[in-house]
A and B are shown apart, each in its own frame.
Chain A
């Protein structure tokens, strides 16, 4: 019969061009061809341009003499050092300012975020104004404000502002006492490490005991005693080897002490203050994301408000907070490249100088990209580990 014959036929596939598989392969082939052609064109142009400009490609230039000074360096560096070392100095400076900024921004941000949820009307409004102001102005402007608006109009060194603990503030930065580690001070460091290790051990044991018997142990005070007491003991035993180098006022400048340059100070303050506003919003969203029933149930179990916050609300809020917090840390690290605008020698600034001197544009931009990508990746990996520990463990 006719109908049976039709059934036996191959199902109609329609037109060949309407097959999604064929289309997919066709589109991808087109994309690949266009891309390869584009890359080939770019490479050809680049080679032409480089030969015309007589620039040898490759990373050999990194061994050349830098010939420029860097105002702020954590490792030994002079203008006789190599270009590679100059870039390394910049990289370390980026790490320093990003690390310091992350710590400060987190502290300020958490205080503000919790403050925005306070029952106290005044505190709530102050925190709100702070967040709304700093979230809506460019970070570069904040940096300039600290640099040109505040720090560079401070009095000259001769009229330095005296601050507690023998520190000074003037146009050239912030000076504070520098510890001088004498003979035998390695003992203090060993004692500190030992104290931390013992505190960790005590905390572990205490948790195991609480799980087994329900008895609690004053972990906080024991740890504090171990971490602070042991180094102090070592300090006394090794004969008080620590002394301080105070900044002293001489006729024209301050001598001695530890100087923090205004470039670093303005970048660090601006990044911390700016990012803190974003962290505050994240913390607020995190705490608000924990449903009210959790707090009430914990209260019904007889927990005190402090314990409710510590044991019930914060662990759950952290789950919401950590992923966006990671991206804020990454933003802060990337924003530290704004250092170039005020002359703090971070990675972008030193690499930019190297680029201008050698003309090795491709290599220098490549170095910047690779380093920043690696930093981003590293931060993400660390925060993912933290996140995995915090994440909801379900049966």
Chain B
């Protein structure tokens, strides 16, 4: 046995040291993320040049040089164009957006009746927000009010003709009102219809399956414009003489059927991802077809495809802008219609109006995609390593 045991066991922990100076602070971050190598440096320079070319111009156009107030085109035109701005001026004409804001929101909805869409919008937000926040209780009641009561109430209020409310033709509707009501109904119709179509496509009944496949593949193969054309020129031919549809309703049917076909494919993806054992387990418990689907398969399948469903919603929201081609005035249609207003026609008008419309569309779509990411994380019950 040795007297002096040379083995050494450290008893106390080594103190944590701060990172060396070369790995700390702004300098290290720049070295790591911007100039790691020669190629990286070149890319950074290209990036800086690109940003320097675009960003200052954009900011000066949208904010610094922009004309915020004004009553007609002279405020947004240069002297050479018959306005008050210096020659060579280039800035956004927010005055135009400001003056036409009411139209952009409601179209030609009578000004005295605009409280009706505003009330619907307030109710819509008041019911939607608690529905979206997971912590708020009474989701069932909320959903019934939102999907059941609100549409009926909104329909009565917006169309009018009863309870002393003057009737407002749908041809007078426009702007964001049309965009939102088309998308809301489209979403509310296309999701259940898409689920039914997806179930039909995976059904064991050959005729049902074939019909669903034909419908889905045909609709997915043709552009929405063709579907809208069909809804606007062919539908009247298909109905008995004298029976005519509201144009708004026709567009609604077209958009909903179109979105339902895409939704069906998304849902089918989810259905296919559910292992066979789940179906068999439900069968062995003695559940019927609808119980099996409603209680076991669909809850799992739909959760899997939330991103796809929301992408379809976003796609549909964007697609509602196409109704402007069949001469209905959604947000984009109204904006475009106002370019030809002689009172406001300047080189900057079109740009400003379109940037405003783009911003509104972007806000809704971006919001939807972020919310879907949030939901996806929240519903994720899988084990994470």
Partner of B365, one of A48, A136, A338: A136
- Closest B residue by C-beta to A380: B221
With a CB–CB cut-off of 8 A, which chain A residues contact B241? 45, 48-49, 52
> A368 and B222 in contact (CB under 8 A), knowing A48-B241, A121-B33, A122-B44?
yes
With a CB–CB cut-off of 8 A, which chain B residues contact A123? 43-44, 47
Partner of B240, one of A45, A135, A140, A369: A45
Question: Is B351 among interface residues, defined by CB-CB distance under 8 A?
Answer: yes
Residue of B236, B354, B366 contacting most chain A CB atoms (<10 Å): B354
Whether the Cβ atoms of A145 and B225 lie closer than 8 Å is no
Stretch at the interface among B139-147, B272-280, B315-323: B315-323
> A334 and B222 in contact (CB under 8 A), knowing A120-B33, A148-B350, A355-B233?
yes
Number of interface residues of B (CB under 8 A): 56
Whether the Cβ atoms of A119 and B226 lie closer than 8 Å is no
Partner of A145, one of B36, B44, B205, B358: B358
Question: Is A164 among interface residues, defined by CB-CB distance under 8 A?
Answer: no
Determine how close the nearest CB of chain B comes to the CB of A328; give it in whole angstroms: 12
Question: Is A31 among interface residues, defined by CB-CB distance under 8 A?
Answer: yes
The interface residues of chain B, by DSSP majority, are classed as helix
Question: Is A133 among interface residues, defined by CB-CB distance under 8 A?
Answer: yes
With a CB–CB cut-off of 8 A, which chain A residues contact B350? 144, 148-149, 152-153
Whether the Cβ atoms of A120 and B43 lie closer than 8 Å is yes
Whether the Cβ atoms of A372 and B222 lie closer than 8 Å is yes
A143-168, CB under 8 A of B: which get 1 and which 0? 01100111011000000000000000
The distance in angstroms between the C-alpha atoms of A376 and B362, with both chains bound, is: 29
Question: Is A233 among interface residues, defined by CB-CB distance under 8 A?
Answer: no
With a CB–CB cut-off of 8 A, which chain A residues contact B238? 42, 45-46
Size bracket, chain A contacts: 35 or more
Question: Is B16 among interface residues, defined by CB-CB distance under 8 A?
Answer: no
Whether the Cβ atoms of B225 and A348 lie closer than 8 Å is yes
Determine how close the nearest CB of chain B comes to the CB of A36; give it in whole angstroms: 12
Partner of A153, one of B204, B224, B351: B351
With a CB–CB cut-off of 8 A, which chain A residues contact B222? 334, 368-369, 372-373
Determine how close the nearest CB of chain B comes to the CB of A28; give it in whole angstroms: 4
Whether the Cβ atoms of B365 and A137 lie closer than 8 Å is yes
Partner of A50, one of B207, B233, B237, B358: B237
- Closest B residue by C-beta to A150: B351
The distance in angstroms between the C-alpha atoms of A323 and B372, with both chains bound, is: 23
With a CB–CB cut-off of 8 A, which chain B residues contact A139? 318
Determine how close the nearest CB of chain B comes to the CB of A54; give it in whole angstroms: 13
The interface residues of chain A, by DSSP majority, are classed as helix
With a CB–CB cut-off of 8 A, which chain B residues contact A133? 362
The distance in angstroms between the C-alpha atoms of A122 and B362, with both chains bound, is: 23
Residue of B238, B332, B347 contacting most chain A CB atoms (<10 Å): B238
Whether the Cβ atoms of A365 and B361 lie closer than 8 Å is no
Whether the Cβ atoms of A136 and B205 lie closer than 8 Å is no
With a CB–CB cut-off of 8 A, which chain B residues contact A153? 347, 350-351
Whether the Cβ atoms of A141 and B361 lie closer than 8 Å is yes
Whether the Cβ atoms of B205 and A27 lie closer than 8 Å is yes
Question: Is B48 among interface residues, defined by CB-CB distance under 8 A?
Answer: yes
Whether the Cβ atoms of B362 and A136 lie closer than 8 Å is yes
With a CB–CB cut-off of 8 A, which chain A residues contact B208? 27-28, 31
- Closest A residue by C-beta to B33: A121
B250-284, CB under 8 A of A: which get 1 and which 0? 00000000000000000000000000000000000
Question: Is B172 among interface residues, defined by CB-CB distance under 8 A?
Answer: no
What 7 new A-B contacts, CB under 8 Å, besides A123-B43, A145-B354, A153-B347? A45-B241, A132-B366, A135-B365, A138-B361, A348-B225, A368-B226, A376-B220
Listed from nearest, the 4 A-B pairs whose CB atoms lie closest are A136-B365, A121-B33, A148-B350, A138-B318
Residues in chain A within 8 A of chain B (CB atoms): 24, 27-28, 31-32, 35, 42, 45-46, 48-50, 52, 118-123, 126, 132-133, 135-141, 144-145, 148-150, 152-153, 330, 334-335, 337-338, 340-341, 348, 352, 355, 361-362, 365, 368-369, 372-373, 376-377
Residues in chain B within 8 A of chain A (CB atoms): 33-34, 36, 40, 43-44, 47-48, 50-51, 204-208, 211, 218, 220-226, 229-230, 233-234, 236-241, 314, 318-319, 321-322, 324-325, 332, 336, 339, 347, 350-351, 354-355, 357-358, 361-362, 365-366, 369
